[in-house]
Structure 1
Amino acid sequence: GLACVEAAISGLPVVASNLDVLREVLTAEDGSPAALFVEADAAGMARGLGDLFARPEAKARLSEAGRRLRDKYSPARMCAGYEALLLA
């Protein structure tokens, strides 16, 4: 999941397996998906990649949502979360 998050934050459009954990980490705080979620097999990935090439507007939307993950996973925010967890 970390590699997918890093790719999305950098603005790359991501095609990811349709797994709950990936949906959780690759969704911006406003609920926008930062990845195109597909079946976890070669055919699903191929269809997802084909969709991105065919729809530049989808690539742009995913890239924008991915960049918004920066705030969700900022070092300061993550450290504050760990601190709150440890001090609770």
Structure 2
Amino acid sequence: MFGRSLIAVAGIACALLTAGCTDADMANLGSYGSKATITCYSGGAAIYKDESSGKVSIGEGGSGVYYRSSKTGRFVHTYADCIVEQE
């Protein structure tokens, strides 16, 4: 509950202070902690698909994404080209 309130305050502050937040910035704030579907590709073909239990983060220097899998409960760090779709 507190986390959602903090996100709302951050979104309002972003809108009031900068008036330059894009739809993507607002969606990013609003989806914090939401489940996501991760699909990774190689040579144009899907090679991996999974679901996160919550937030998906970008690795240091843009080296892939990492998250906790809702299917296995394990920590996953991919280094492939992935598309992350938040619910």
The TM-score bracket by the shorter chain reads: under 0.3
TM-score with structure 2 setting the length: 0.25
Greater share of helix residues, 1 or 2? 1
Greater share of strand residues, 1 or 2? 2
Q: Higher Cα Rg: structure 1 or 2?
A: 2
TM-score with structure 1 setting the length: 0.24
